[in-house]
Every structure is written in structure tokens, then in C-alpha cells.
């Protein structure tokens, strides 16, 4: 199934001249270049995990954070692998390790999207915020990221005011459904 352990099929890292490690990391937290989908997917996943487990562990944001992180890792692995299989089948060639590496980098936004909500949960875990407040803050941070990604999408696609409003509304609407799940269905 896997062929080609060499690095010849791995694309070079895309960095701008003079870009620091911190700026690259920050770019990944909100999506790199046109790569918005993995950040949106990771944010929605993180929010859904917070909503689901925030109810089960309302006094333990540390446990919720661990669940958010582990869920993101499992879903990232599954996402990368299934995309690799799909591309292999549709393009008619065996799945290669180099291609999986490329996909893993491209989909890193799934993992990095959990960092801001996790930091909010950490504030509750160390006692800076009330535990429940940190769970709500994690959801609010997720909504903010989704709104920002809607704006990024509209800029990349050169959408006008209506298109921008629609992109932001769709992204935040999905996030609000998750918050609604937390507020209504799980309480």
C-alpha cells in the first residue's frame, strides 16, 4: 500500500522570505494561504467536543481540554489517511508515504485549530477563570475563529459585501449550532 519512502515526492515547506517560526505558527492557527477548510474543520470539531464534554465534566476544564486535544489528533489521523486513500484511488496510483506527509502538513490546521480553545480551557484548569466560564470562553473563541475564517474566505474569493456576510454567517451559524447544542440539548 505504501511505496516510496524517499523525500523526493514531498513538497518543500511554503514559507515567505523573512518569516519567523512564530509568524508561521500564527499563520497556521488561522489557516495558511488558502487553506481555510482544515482550520474550520478543526475549530468545529473542537467546539463540538467542548460542547459534548463540557456537560459531562463542567468542573474539570483540564479533562475537557485533554478530550479536545485527543479528539483532534484522532480525527486528524483519520482525515489524512482517508484523503490519502481517496486520492490514491481517484488518481490510480498506490498511496505513498511522501503524499501522506504532504497531506499531513496541509491538514495541520485541524490540530492547530484546537490551540486557542484549549488555551481558554487552560485558564479554567489553572484557576484564572471559573471552570464553567472557561468552557463558554472556549466556545466563544471558536465562534470568533469561524467568523474570521469566513472573512478570510471572502477576501481570498474577492466576494462583495453580500458574499462576505454570507460566508461569515455560514461559518458562525455552524458554530452557533454547536453552542446551541451546549446550551439546550446538553443542559
CA distance 46 to 35: 18
Select from 72, 73, 103, 70 the least CA-distant residue to 85: 103
Note whether residue 11 is domain-resident. Answer: no
Q: What is the pTM of this model?
A: 0.79
Note whether residue 14 is domain-resident. Answer: no
Q: What is the pLDDT along the chain (187 residues), one digit of tens a residue?
A: 444 444 333 333 444 555 676 556 555 556 656 678 999 999 999 999 998 888 888 888 899 999 999 999 999 999 999 999 999 999 898 988 988 999 998 899 999 999 999 999 999 999 899 988 999 999 999 999 999 999 999 999 999 999 999 999 999 999 898 888 767 765 5
Note whether residue 179 is domain-resident. Answer: yes
Note whether residue 169 is domain-resident. Answer: yes
Q: What is the pLDDT of residue 3?
A: 43
Note whether residue 7 is domain-resident. Answer: no
CA distance 65 to 35: 25
Note whether residue 1 is domain-resident. Answer: no
Note whether residue 71 is domain-resident. Answer: yes
Q: What is the pLDDT of residue 178?
A: 81
Q: What is the pLDDT of residue 184?
A: 74
Domain membership of residue 126 as a residue range: 34-185
Note whether residue 106 is domain-resident. Answer: yes
Domain count, the chain: 1
CA distance 32 to 10: 18
Amino acid at each position: 500500500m505504501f511505496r516510496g519512502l524517499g523525500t523526493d515526492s514531498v513538497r518543500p515547506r511554503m514559507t515567505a522570505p523573512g518569516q519567523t517560526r512564530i509568524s508561521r505558527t500564527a499563520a497556521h492557527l488561522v489557516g495558511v494561504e488558502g487553506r481555510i477548510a482544515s482550520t474550520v474543520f478543526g475549530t468545529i470539531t473542537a467546539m463540538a467536543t467542548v460542547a459534548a464534554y463540557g456537560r459531562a465534566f463542567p468542573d474539570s476544564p483540564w479533562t475537557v481540554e485533554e478530550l479536545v486535544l485527543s479528539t483532534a489528533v484522532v480525527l486528524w489521523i483519520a482525515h489524512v489517511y482517508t484523503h490519502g486513500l481517496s486520492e490514491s484511488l481517484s488518481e490510480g496510483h498506490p498511496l505513498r508515504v511522501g503524499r501522506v506527509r504532504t497531506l499531513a502538513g496541509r491538514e495541520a490546521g485541524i490540530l492547530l485549530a484546537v490551540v486557542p480553545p484549549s488555551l481558554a480551557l487552560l485558564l479554567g484548569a489553572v484557576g484564572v477563570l471559573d471552570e464553567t466560564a472557561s468552557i463558554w470562553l472556549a466556545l466563544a473563541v471558536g465562534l470568533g475563529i469561524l467568523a474570521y475564517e469566513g472573512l478570510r474566505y471572502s477576501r481570498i474569493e474577492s466576494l462583495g459585501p453580500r458574499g462576505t456576510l454570507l460566508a461569515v454567517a455560514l461559518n458562525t451559524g455552524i458554530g452557533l449550532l454547536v453552542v446551541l447544542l451546549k446550551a439546550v440539548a446538553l443542559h
